[in-house]
Structures are given as structure tokens and as C-alpha cells.
Amino acid sequence: MDTFKRLKEFYLPFKKYFFWSLISLLGVTGMTVVYPIILQQAIDSVSLGDYSIIPSLVIALIIATLIKSVTAFINQYYGDLFGISSVYQLRKVLYKKLQFLPFKYYDNAKTGDLMSRLTADVEGFRFFLSFGFAQLVNFVLLVTFSFGVMFFYSVPLTLLTMATLPFLVVAVYMFDKRVHPRFRLIRKSLANLNTKVQENVSGVQTVKALSQEEEESKRFDLKNEDYRSKHIDIAHVWGKYFPFMEIIGNMSSVILIGFGGYLTITGSMTPGEFVAFFSLIGFIVGPIMQLGFIMNTFSQSKASGERLLEILDAEERVDENRFDKNKVRLIGEVEFENVDLLYDKEQKAQALKDVSFNVHKGETIGLVGATGSGKSSIIQLITRFYQKSAGEIRIDGKPIEDYSMKQLRSNIGIVLQETFLFSSTIKDNIAYGNSEATMDEIIAAAKRADAHEFISELPEGYETVLGERGLGLSGGQKQRIAIARAIIMDPAILIMDDATSAVDMQTEVKIQKAFREVMKGRTTFIIAHRISSVKHADQIIVLDKGQIVERGTHEELLENNGGIYRRIYDIQNQDQQYVLQQA
């Protein structure tokens, strides 16, 4: 029960719903046990030739049925309310937790697995709260009430018929012990299945472009087969234990017929008591037989709860509660001092090694280097997507850790190399980082990003609803919307992570021209493979294998004939001249 104890904060606030469900369950169980008593009275009265009591018993049966119907409705309603209310809060906390987990968590997480946890696992936990828990309580109450009536009728017969129950309890315990690990494997297999579907749908263009439809179907079949085989394994355990539990349960009926029949013949028990006793045995053996199903539900819920706790227990690197909620307007002075970055302790190669530089307010910094040289790593540290391994990073003279994530990132406008747009209107996508932006401000940001013209040509203009990930727009159009989204935040620090890589050179010139106006008074970092994107920067930093190997202005770096920057410039210049000659 440790899993349920740890998750109690989500269902204890709604204990009043469970209380009313439990109270009504007493009525349901009580009226259920009343039926055999009424049956006993009817049989014994008729067997003695007394029919006068029949009308009263009919009325009693109608009243018992009405009470049971009403209490059953209340039990079902409040039981569902208890489960639904509990997982509403749980799902809310889980989603919020995912928003604040560090990027390192997502490096190893799979989208399909996370989706499975927030849907299938949350629903599995809810099902037990709404249904399984009530069934467990109903089992205890029904067995207790039935035992009470049976002892009233015949103590020896009750003890004899119940002699098999300890064996049944042991069988149920052994069943749960074997079935629970298998349900955890099923949950994991389902998550893998969801991940494969999610990856296939997200990468459908790549799949089709490389004609991998058949191969993808085969890969899915492997995941699907794994999920099927684990369900078959569960069915095998169920098929093994359930008949055994049924045999033990039926032994009670055999004993009842034998010894109970003898007591009836000898006159120690009336025919009505014998029939009632037989019904009560069913109320005990039946629920115990169903205990396997209840434990089945419990095991699924426990496995789901364990997977949910893995998210809730994931470490949040930064305690945001220690910061005040006041907004901060940064100036934009950035300083790196002997900064190291190691993404994974198991990897020996550092992403950054002993990096130091100063950036003053309003300066533009170009970051140049080969893929994997550390350009994006510098940006990851400024935005605190990752935490430095050593050294000091200061913004406006204060250690970067002295700002909350919200205070820091609300002052940073960033356009990533891989543009992500939400399935919403273009207007909402541009205003995503500034929900208070007016329509005029949205249009002004779009014009600066050279996006207003193509947006205006769309049938719905700024109200055009984009497909998933901006489906329906070209790469350049999506990137210009992302640029407008960064501009509208009015950031103190502007980051362009190869932001013009998806646009043609003519559009790049337009965007750069607009950016020169936007960058005034802002500290700007530009990561680019094209020298043309950074040659106007106040300072250009050239990185290689995580270290700064060159720095200076465009003209200063060109003077170093053996340098990396000059080599990149010469290669790109030769390529451009070749293209012009071919044209």
C-alpha cells in the first residue's frame, strides 16, 4: 500500500465523497443480506401452512429493493466523483511537474511514454479509486454481514463450511504476487507501443520520403507482438489460478449440501434456514472468487501509481519558491567566467571547457564554429536549459542562479534552429510569450520579421489556424513567425540560433535589415553557419571542441589567414562565386 500512501494527498481532500459512498454501501450490503432472511421466513412459513405472513414479506422485499436501488445509485455516483476528482488534481500536478522538469529529464524521456502515463496510467489509478476500492470495501462488509447471519443460524455449519477459506485467501495472495510484476511490464510495453505510434506520426514525411512504410509496419508489429505476448502471459496466470480458486470455493458448497442436508433431515435446521444458508455461502464465496478480479484491478492501479510517482519524484533542479514573484527588467550584460559544461557524467568529452567572455549592453555577439563545437551550449546555459558544471555565469553583475527561471526567460527572446509552432492561430503563436500583446503589436512584430506580407495573403490572415507543428507553412515562413514571437517579448537579450537557416538569401537580407533596428539597445547572440549573418557583429567568438579559439570583429578575424574563421569565410566565398558563375 506504499504507493497509495504516497499518493494520498490527491485523494484525501475528497474523502467526503468516499465517506458518502461508504455509507451508501452499507445500505446496499445490508439490503443484500436481507434477501435470504426474507426467503427463509417465506419458506418456513409456507412449509408450516402459514400463508398470512406472505403479504408482509412481499412489502418488506419491495422496501428492501427500493432502499438497495437508491443506495446503489448514491454509492456509484459518489464513488465516481471520488475517483474523478482525485485524478483531476493528480493529472494537473503531473502536467505542471512536466513543465518545470529540466531539459536533462527530457533527454532520456520518450514522448509516447509520457503520454501513456498521463492518460492510461492516470485512468488505471482512477478506476481503482472509483470502482476497485469500493468493491474491496463491499467484499469486507458482505462477508462480515453474511457471517453474522450464518452464525445465527448454525455455528457448527458455519465453521465447517468456512474451513476452506484460508486456502482461498492464500491462493488470492499468490495470484497477486505473480500478477503485479506482469502488469508493470504491460504498462511499460503499452508506453513503448505509444512511443512508436507517436514517432511514426511525427516523422511521417521522413518515413514516406525514404520509402520505409513496410519497415515501419514491421517495427510496429514487434512492439504490438510484445504487448500481446505480455497480455497472454497475464491470461496464463489468470487461467492457472482462477480454476484453483473456484475449486476451493465450491468445496464450501459441497460441505454445506452434505452436512447442512444432514442437519435439515434431523430437524436441527429448518428448510428455510438451509436455503438461506446456501444463499449466504454464495455471498461469501462469490466475493472471495471476485477478490481475484479486485486484486487484478489493484495490481494494475498499483503499477500505474508507481509509474506516476516516477514523474512526481523526478528532481527539479531549481527551487522556484525561494524567489519573489516580482518581474525583473534586465539590462543585458552577460559574463562567462571559466565555465565548463558536461551534459552527462558518463561522457568524458565536455561540451564547454574554460569558456570566458564579457558582453556589454546592446552588443551583438556572433558564435561561429563547426557542428558540436559548443555554440548552442553557450545558449543553453544563458537560458538555463542546462546547468553549468563549473565556473560562473553572471547577468547584470549577478550570478544567473539568483534569478528565477521566469524572471530570466521573460527577458530573453529566442529563435531556435528547429522551429516549433502550436496548433493554434498565427496570432496566438506570435503572442505566445506575451499574452497581453495587442493586435497592433502583433502586426508590428510580424512586419519586423518580414512575415506580415505572407500572413496577409492567407485566407484567414492572422486568424489562420495552423496544423500540427505549423503544417501548411514553409520552413522559412515558420521561422519568420518564430522570429516575430521573439520580437514581441521586447527582450533585453535576443538569441538567434541559426534562425535564418531555412530562408533564402534574399529573405535573410530583409530579416537582417529589420533586425538591425530591433537589436538596438539589446544584447544579441547570433549563432550562424553563414558568415554573412554575423559579419556585422560587435564581437565574433569562434569555438572548436568546446573552447574559444578565436575572437574579434569580422575584419580582425579575416586577418588571421590560418584561422578557422578565415577558412570558413574562404570556403563560403568560393561556393558563392561558383553559384554566381553557374547562374
Q: Please report the DSSP string for 160-182 in residue order.
A: HHGGGHHHHHHHHHHHHHHHHHH
> 163 versus 471: which is more confidently predicted?
163
In this predicted structure, the answer to whether residue 337 has a pLDDT above a threshold of 60 is: yes
Contact 472, 519 (CB under 8 A): no
At 317 the three-state DSSP class reads coil
Per-residue confidence (pLDDT) for residue 504, from 0 to 100: 64
Per-residue confidence (pLDDT) for residue 464, from 0 to 100: 87
Q: Tell me how far apart the alpha carbons of residues 281 and 165 are, in angstroms, rounded to a whole number.
A: 11
In this predicted structure, the answer to whether residue 81 has a pLDDT above a threshold of 60 is: yes
B/e letters for 370-402, b = 16+ CB within 10 Å, e = fewer, are eeebbbbbbbbbbbbbbbbbebebbbbeeebee
In this predicted structure, the answer to whether residue 295 has a pLDDT above a threshold of 90 is: no
> Does 518 fall in a domain?
no
In this predicted structure, the answer to whether residue 133 has a pLDDT above a threshold of 90 is: no
In this predicted structure, the answer to whether residue 392 has a pLDDT above a threshold of 90 is: yes
At 133 the three-state DSSP class reads helix
Per-residue confidence (pLDDT) for residue 347, from 0 to 100: 66
> Does 194 fall in a domain?
yes
Q: Tell me how far apart the alpha carbons of residues 35 and 50 are, in angstroms, rounded to a whole number.
A: 20
**Cell match 489509478: residue?**
125
> Does 102 fall in a domain?
yes
Per-residue confidence (pLDDT) for residue 348, from 0 to 100: 67
Show the domain range for 174: 2-312
B/e letters for 62-90, b = 16+ CB within 10 Å, e = fewer, are eebeeebeebbebbbebbbbbbebbbeeb
> 467 versus 269: which is more confidently predicted?
269
Contact 112, 249 (CB under 8 A): no
Provide the number of structural domains found in the chain: 3
CATH number at residue 116: 1.20.1560.10
For the ranges 108-122, 383-397, 537-551, the lowest mean pLDDT is seen at: 108-122
> Does 51 fall in a domain?
yes
> Does 319 fall in a domain?
no
Per-residue confidence (pLDDT) for residue 580, from 0 to 100: 47
For the ranges 25-34, 124-133, 289-298, 491-500, the lowest mean pLDDT is seen at: 289-298
Is 391 found in the same domain as 532? Answer: yes
Is 155 found in the same domain as 302? Answer: yes
Is 109 found in the same domain as 31? Answer: yes
> Does 348 fall in a domain?
yes
Q: Strand 523-527's sheet: what is its strand order?
A: 412-415, 493-497, 523-527, 364-369, 539-544, 547-552
In this predicted structure, the answer to whether residue 171 has a pLDDT above a threshold of 50 is: yes
Predicted model pTM: 0.70
> Does 116 fall in a domain?
yes
Is 289 found in the same domain as 236? Answer: yes
Is 463 found in the same domain as 499? Answer: no
CATH number at residue 369: 3.40.50.300
* End-of-domain residue from the set 312, 344, 375: 312
In this predicted structure, the answer to whether residue 364 has a pLDDT above a threshold of 50 is: yes
> Does 462 fall in a domain?
yes
For the ranges 215-229, 267-281, 331-345, 507-521, the lowest mean pLDDT is seen at: 507-521
Per-residue confidence (pLDDT) for residue 324, from 0 to 100: 65
In this predicted structure, the answer to whether residue 272 has a pLDDT above a threshold of 80 is: yes
At 366 the three-state DSSP class reads strand
Is 554 found in the same domain as 446? Answer: no
Per-residue confidence (pLDDT) for residue 581, from 0 to 100: 52
Contact 465, 422 (CB under 8 A): no
Is 385 found in the same domain as 450? Answer: no
Range 228-240 average pLDDT = 84
Per-residue confidence (pLDDT) for residue 513, from 0 to 100: 66
